[in-house]
Amino acid sequence: MSWSSRYLPPDPTIWQGRVDMPADSCFYQHVQPLNLFTQKLPKGEQLAFAIVGFKCDEGIQRDLGRTGAFEGPMAIRHRLAKLPIQKPAIQCYDVGNITCTDHDLESSQESLAEVIAQLLEQQIHPIVIGGGHEMAWGHYQGIARSYSPTTRLGIINFDAHFDLHPMQPSHRASATTAFYQIAEAHEIGKRHLDYNCIGIQHAGNIRQSFEIAKQFKVKMILADDLHQGLREKCFDFVDRVIDENEIIYLSLSLDVFSPAFAPGVSTIQPLGLDPWHVIPLIRQAASSGKVISYDIAEHVPRYDIDHRTAKLAATLIYEIIHHHRCPQ
């Protein structure tokens, strides 16, 4: 249990609300807190999800970004608790948080990987909430441990940035190196890499990042494409990922959105997307039966306005849970 020193059990008080609501009508009535110290993970006999918080600022801090994403998981949970649930047959767990309070990002990523692997082993779909996008490296490692190297994994990342920065000379990882680490791990393990970015902005990436993306054969949909209404191109893009892969890992950085919808993020993007650019594509991927795991990164509550960003993140979880389909 090497993950245990960085594990915080769930807070059951989050999942409380009005006592006069009909039974099992909202998430606060439906989500089951599950303490991994004292409770055994059940087998996902039916469609099952587990919320995992990644309370970490270290990756953003190493990138000299604006910090505060450590508090993101709790803020998102509070907003999710109030949302209605339309499919009460779906199992939903809150399995607590992996934390990073000592600047040892690598150990926290390793702990996250162990928890992800445990969930996938029980056929429970993780939904990781953060926390910086450095969570993606830990998340991916958990997936890699759970599936054969020959399994074709497609990665869809909704993000204004590639996060393909090479490791620094000090070999310190960060939020912007996560997918470079994943790409390198694919090469070392001779795995097929299919990394797909949606929402990329030229103003959000240095020239060298586009060159590295080309080197790793990264496929992309630019934010410009979505703003210009190229919907069919976007649907075809997601269809290809679905058709050519056996499993899919879907990641989303909240800074892909315009600050009108998501002001509480690590890096504001003035030309970010509208939620309705993204939601149909999430629904498309989730309903494919191939997505095994999800994460939502980069919520910084201290910069949020009227909880807009937390509410949007919670709504995206609502969409995932209600549109996700298991393979037939």
The full set of domain ranges for the chain reads: 4-323
Res. 326 pLDDT band, cuts 50 70 90: confident
Task: Say yes or no to pLDDT of 168 above 80.
Answer: no
**Which residues, at least 6 apart from 86, have a Cβ–Cβ distance to it below 8 Å?**
322
DSSP 96-164: EEEE--SS-HHHHHHHHHHHHHHHHHTT-EEEEEES-TTHHHHHHHHHHHHS-TTS-EEEEEE-SS---
Among the listed residues 41, 38, 67, the one whose alpha carbon sits nearest the alpha carbon of residue 55: 67
Q: pLDDT digits over 4-48, tens only?
A: 899 999 999 999 999 999 999 999 999 999 999 999 999 877 899
CATH superfamily for 4-323 is: Ureohydrolase domain (3.40.800.10)
**Separation in Å, CA 148 to CA 40, 153, 191:** 25, 10, 9
Which amino acid, one-letter code, is at 107? S
Distance CA 21, CA 25 (A): 7
Q: pLDDT digits over 98-135, tens only?
A: 999 999 999 999 999 999 999 999 999 999 999 999 99
The pair phi, psi for residue 152, each rounded to 5°, is -80, 110
3-state secondary structure of 7: strand
Res. 222 pLDDT band, cuts 50 70 90: very high
Structure tokens that stand for 186 in this block:
């694919």
Question: CB-based burial of residue 70 (10 Å sphere; 0-12 exposed, 13-18 middle, 19+ buried)?
Answer: buried
